[in-house]
Amino acid sequence: MDEMKRIETAAETVIAALGTAEIGVILGSGLGDYAESLADARRLAYSDIPGFPRSTVPGHAGMLVCGTLHGKRAVMMQGRFHYYEGWSMQDVVLPVRVMRRMGVKTLIVTNACGGVNLSFAPGDLMVISDYLTLTGVNPLMGANLDAFGPRFPDMSCVFDKGLRALAHETAKAQGFSLQEGVYCQFPGPCYETPAEIRMARILGADAVGMSTVPEAQAARHSGMRVLGISCITNMAAGILDQPLCHEEVTETANRVKERFKGLLDGVITTMI
């Protein structure tokens, strides 16, 4: 099906079921239950949205939840689509485009990732200042969707400066501080090798993960403001003398989730 038609068809179903929203939030590993904080929430399973892929990662519910948070209309994704699951990059960003159709102007993207910067520690939260991608693919490849944005979108400031400053101020007011750095996307699903992590560090990465970049690209293409916040769930491969495992990632994400949710709440409350 023509991509524009697929987006419009999905958006029609979503808007009929959930209404519109001004803020979109993509909830990464362990954060899914933040959607429970929405008042007057309405839910829609991805499996009930025509053209939507199905979330296959354990711990990702596969649900869009829309409601009110501190007087603002927000839609949250419980579960996202990853390139490593075998979806196309257009599949990965379909929800972002549907959110844009819902009226979303600000997208908050969250994730779990590995720390590359040696001054980071598991459990730290990091404001994403910029991205690097080593996937070699881009969701904007193919015919440009002129209804969303230009053929050659500017990416010189993907992550909104004002929102980044607000995240830092909010954390400070809540009694902790945030790291800030460059997020580098590898395709996954294997964790990186120590050599890849040394390469990423030389290239300027502070953290590595398997998501977020395509969503941020599609959001910027369609003119949204983007805030990215990562949870450093583990030190990246080869930094510590221990193997990496998904359990460590979910364990740290769970340990930090109350602080993470508090930060999101504070940012959304004060955001203009």
Q: Which residues have a catalytic role annotated?
A: 29, 60, 82, 84-85, 112, 210-211, 234, 246
Concatenating the DSSP letter of every residue in 36-57 gives GG-EEEEEEEGGGSTT-----S
Does position 264 bind ligand HPA by CB under 6 A? no
Does position 92 bind ligand HPA by CB under 6 A? no
Asked whether the beta carbons of 227 and 131 are under 8 A apart, the reply is no
Does position 109 bind ligand HPA by CB under 6 A? no
Neighbours of 2 (CB within 10 A): 8
Q: Which residues contact 168 (CB under 8 A, 6 or more apart)?
A: 127, 177, 178, 180
Does position 125 bind ligand HPA by CB under 6 A? no
Q: How many helices (H) and strands (E) does the chain have?
A: 6, 9
Task: Measure CA 213 to chain center.
Answer: 8
Q: How far is the CB of 257 from ligand HPA (least distance, A)?
A: 14
Strands 63-69 and 125-133: unpaired
Q: How far is the CB of 119 from ligand HPA (least distance, A)?
A: 16
Does position 112 bind ligand HPA by CB under 6 A? yes
Q: How far is the CB of 216 from ligand HPA (least distance, A)?
A: 16
Q: How far is the CB of 29 from ligand HPA (least distance, A)?
A: 7
CA 45 to each of CA 62, 97, 202: distance values in angstroms, whole numbers, following the listed order: 6, 17, 41
Which x/- pattern over 156-195 shows residues binding ligand HPA (rule: CB under 6 A)? -----------------------------------xx---
Q: What residues make contact with ligand HPA under the rule CB under 6 A?
A: 112-114, 191-192, 208-210, 233-234, 236, 244, 249
